[in-house]
């Protein structure tokens, strides 16, 4: 793939983009509690939300759930792209409609309908509240024009203020006008009515203190890392400001300018945040469309051989992997549109590939027969005790296997299993022939069984922290013991896992209830642990295929590096599990 001309010049921009996306993702993860759920659980959660009254109280939760659902759907679709691309000709299928997405969209439609009905009722209430406030304004107007005795005017004014505060929301379009009129009548009341100076100064002083506190709070909001949250809090401060009465005339302009200036800072940060998001999103969308153009520009008339198709398939897989690492907001309309375009282009490629492979079925049949012949040869050699010569023959047969082209996927797994089973059997017997290694592995097997017996017989003391440390020591002792015979490793590990799970579950049961997230994380980490252990065992077993060939030293060294890297990851996962168990 050719390097874009502006790639080097865009590096500073890329660093800026990564920082912005880091902030976005941190905020998204912090504000969204639904990423740990499966999409089916999200659909069930949506059904629960639809029972909540009022429906407007869960607006933010609905939005977070929607983002989590479509992000997970996008991830599954991208993974499916990678999976589909690995299938041979008979396994490329048309994408099927997603039932969960259809159900989820239906529930979203119900939510919008409920919200619309609720909003209609709320609008009616707001209109009623507006009329009630207009009535109070009319009474305030009459009160400020009255020349009644002060002892009767003040209680009436206080009562109207209380009634005003007790009234709920009014239509947004009327808020500013109503509040302005209310403020004018309050100020006119204090300015025109001959209220005694002590009472007026007390009210003015109290209102000034309250508005000063609001100014300080608004000024502190400029340090809030989440500009969206800061903007929400600012709106609440403005509501509080409207409910506070006037201050002395000489402080009115000064205190209002202070509050307005602090609000301006927050509003600019809020606006800049969304502008930066749009800028970053536009850059990511441009990169995604460039990838779409690469796939759409494929000239299918030039792909005439199996090798050319496989090379082009690898290019598509590389582009899919590149796509996954491009940032952006998955739930945005532009991102979803770009993804549909990319998926359509990839689907077109794999449909063409399917059509091509239908024309080479005869080649698949020939390759299958050639592989079956190698299976016969391997099976004839598997019981040989001439370790060196037979190992060299099997390595040569394996090289021949690699040079044979592909077969239909329906038969490839079975014939590969037949071939590798014969090879595995010989090399397992060959390995067992080396008594020193066998003796060491048997010793390790006995040692690990002894540790498992200790774990099964572990008796809790009642001190959860000390018991956890003691169990951790037994787990560490088990992990430090070396390899065991290959045929025993799976059975031994299952026994070890059952023993540790039983003791740790019992120990956690005696402590305070652990957070759901910690439990979920531990299950996920244990699955990764099992997967890594399986991969390590597979690599260690395959090394036996090349251990007697001098020409295979480079490949053996590479496989050993992969084993070391997997073991390092395994150690990191064990450490994470330990941290969870110590919580």
Q: What is the pLDDT of residues 44-57, one digit of tens each?
A: 998 998 898 888 88
Q: What is the pLDDT of residues 471-507, one digit of tens each?
A: 888 888 888 887 777 778 788 888 888 888 888 888 7
Under the banding of pLDDT at 50, 70 and 90, the label for residue 188 is: confident
* Distance between CA atoms of residues 132 and 166, nearest Å: 11
| Average pLDDT rounded to a whole number, residues 72-81 | 81
Same domain? 428 vs 473: yes
Same domain? 493 vs 402: yes
499 assigned to some structural domain: yes
49 assigned to some structural domain: yes
Question: What sign has the CA pseudo-torsion 185, 191, 193, 196?
Answer: positive
CA nearest neighbour of 508 among 519, 495, 523, 494:
519
Residue 376 confidence (pLDDT): 92
Residue 44 confidence (pLDDT): 92
Which tops the pLDDT comparison, 93 or 419?
419
Examine the pLDDT at 387 and tell me if it is beyond 90: no
Under the banding of pLDDT at 50, 70 and 90, the label for residue 129 is: very high
Domain boundary among 342, 358, 374: 358
CA nearest neighbour of 242 among 170, 176, 189, 162:
176
Examine the pLDDT at 196 and tell me if it is beyond 60: no
* Distance between CA atoms of residues 571 and 583, nearest Å: 19
| Average pLDDT rounded to a whole number, residues 338-348 | 86
Number of Cβ atoms within 10 Å of the Cβ of 144 = 19
Same domain? 189 vs 228: no
Instruction: Say if residues 412 and 365 touch (Cβ distance below 8 Å).
Output: no
Examine the pLDDT at 514 and tell me if it is beyond 80: no
Same domain? 451 vs 524: yes
Same domain? 190 vs 202: no
Examine the pLDDT at 155 and tell me if it is beyond 90: no
Examine the pLDDT at 257 and tell me if it is beyond 90: yes
Same domain? 316 vs 398: no
Under the banding of pLDDT at 50, 70 and 90, the label for residue 36 is: confident
Domain boundary among 195, 222, 244: 195
Residues whose CB is less than 8 angstroms from the CB of residue 27 and which lie 6 or more positions away in sequence, other chains included: 226, 228
117 assigned to some structural domain: no
521 assigned to some structural domain: yes
Same domain? 176 vs 229: no
Residue 166 confidence (pLDDT): 87
pTM of the model: 0.36
365 assigned to some structural domain: no
59 assigned to some structural domain: yes
Mean per-residue pLDDT of the chain? 79
Same domain? 187 vs 203: no
Same domain? 212 vs 176: no
Residue 106 confidence (pLDDT): 93
Same domain? 403 vs 539: yes
Number of Cβ atoms within 10 Å of the Cβ of 227 = 22
CA dihedral angle for residue 99, residue 105, residue 109, residue 114, rounded to 10 degrees: 90
Q: What share of the chain is helix, strand, coil (3-state, %, to 5)?
A: 80, 0, 20
554 assigned to some structural domain: yes
The domain in which residue 338 lies consists of: 16-96+298-358
Same domain? 63 vs 47: yes
4 assigned to some structural domain: no
Which tops the pLDDT comparison, 452 or 510?
452
* Distance between CA atoms of residues 516 and 35, nearest Å: 13
Q: What is the pLDDT of residues 96-112, one digit of tens each?
A: 668 988 999 999 999 99
Residue 256 confidence (pLDDT): 94
Residue 151 confidence (pLDDT): 62
Examine the pLDDT at 565 and tell me if it is beyond 50: yes
Examine the pLDDT at 270 and tell me if it is beyond 90: no
Same domain? 138 vs 172: yes
Length of the chain: 583
Domain boundary among 245, 276, 307: 276
Our count of domains for the chain comes to 4
Three-class HEC string of 233-294: HHHHHHHHHHHCCCCCHHHHHHHHHHHHHHHHHHHHHHHHHHHHHHHHHHHHHHHHHHHHHH
* Distance between CA atoms of residues 381 and 398, nearest Å: 13
Residue 568 confidence (pLDDT): 84
């Amino acid at each position: 793939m050719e390097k874009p001309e502006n790639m080097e010049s865009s590096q500073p921009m890329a660093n800026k983009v990564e920082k912005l996306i880091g902030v976005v993702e941190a905020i998204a993860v912090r504000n969204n509690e639904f990423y740990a759920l499966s999409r089916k659980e999200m659909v069930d959660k949506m059904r629960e939300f639809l029972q909540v009254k009022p429906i407007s109280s869960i607006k933010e939760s609905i939005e977070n759930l929607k983002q989590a659902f479509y992000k997970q759907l996008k991830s599954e679709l991208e993974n499916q792209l990678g999976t589909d691309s690995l299938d041979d000709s008979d396994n490329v299928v048309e994408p099927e409609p997603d039932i969960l997405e259809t159900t989820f969209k239906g529930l979203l439609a119900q939510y919008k309908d409920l919200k619309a009905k609720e909003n209609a009722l709320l609008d009616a209430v707001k209109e009623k509240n507006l009329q009630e406030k207009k009535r109070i304004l009319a009474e305030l107007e009459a009160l400020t024009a009255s020349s009644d005795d002060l002892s009767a005017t003040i209680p009436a004014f206080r009562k109207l203020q209380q009634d005003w505060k007790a009234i709920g929301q009014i239509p947004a379009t009327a808020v500013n006008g109503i509040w302005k009129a209310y403020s004018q009548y309050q100020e006119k009341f204090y300015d025109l009515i001959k209220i005694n100076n002590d009472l007026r100064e007390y009210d003015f002083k109290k209102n000034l203190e309250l508005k000063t506190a609001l100014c300080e709070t608004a000024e502190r909001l400029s340090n809030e890392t989440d500009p969206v949250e800061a903007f929400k809090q600012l709106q609440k401060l403005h509501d509080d400001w409207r409910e506070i009465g006037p201050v002395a005339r000489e402080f009115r302009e000064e205190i209002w300018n202070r509050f307005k200036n602090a609000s301006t800072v927050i509003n600019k940060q809020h606006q800049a945040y969304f502008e930066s998001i749009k800028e970053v999103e536009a850059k990511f969308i441009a990169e995604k469309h460039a990838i779409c153009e690469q796939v759409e520009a494929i000239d299918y008339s030039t792909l005439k051989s199996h090798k050319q198709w496989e090379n082009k398939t690898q290019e598509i897989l590389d582009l899919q992997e590149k796509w996954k690492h491009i940032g952006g907001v998955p739930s945005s309309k532009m991102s979803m549109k770009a993804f549909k375009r990319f998926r359509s282009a990839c689907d077109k490629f794999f449909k063409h590939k399917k059509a091509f492979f239908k024309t080479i079925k005869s080649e698949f049949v020939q390759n299958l027969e050639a592989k079956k012949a190698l299976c016969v040869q391997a099976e004839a050699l598997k019981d040989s005790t001439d370790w060196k010569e037979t190992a060299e023959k099997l390595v040569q047969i394996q090289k021949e296997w690699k040079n044979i082209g592909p077969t239909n996927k329906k038969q490839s797994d079975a014939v590969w299993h037949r071939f590798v089973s014969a090879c595995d059997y010989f090399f397992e017997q060959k390995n067992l022939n080396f008594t020193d290694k066998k003796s060491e592995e048997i010793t390790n097997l006995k040692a690990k069984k002894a540790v498992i017996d200790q774990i099964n017989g572990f008796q809790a003391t009642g001190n959860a922290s000390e018991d956890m440390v003691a169990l951790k020591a037994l787990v560490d002792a088990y992990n430090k013991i070396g390899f065991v015979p290959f045929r025993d490793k799976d059975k031994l590990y299952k026994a070890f896992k059952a023993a540790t799970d039983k003791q740790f579950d019992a120990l956690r049961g005696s402590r305070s209830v652990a957070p759901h997230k910690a439990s979920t994380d531990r299950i996920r980490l244990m699955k990764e642990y099992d997967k890594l252990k399986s991969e390590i065992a597979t690599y260690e077993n395959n090394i036996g295929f090349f251990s007697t060939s001098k020409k295979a030293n480079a490949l053996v060294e590479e496989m050993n590096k992969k084993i070391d890297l997997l073991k390092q990851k395994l150690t990191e996962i064990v450490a994470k599990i330990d941290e969870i168990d110590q919580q």
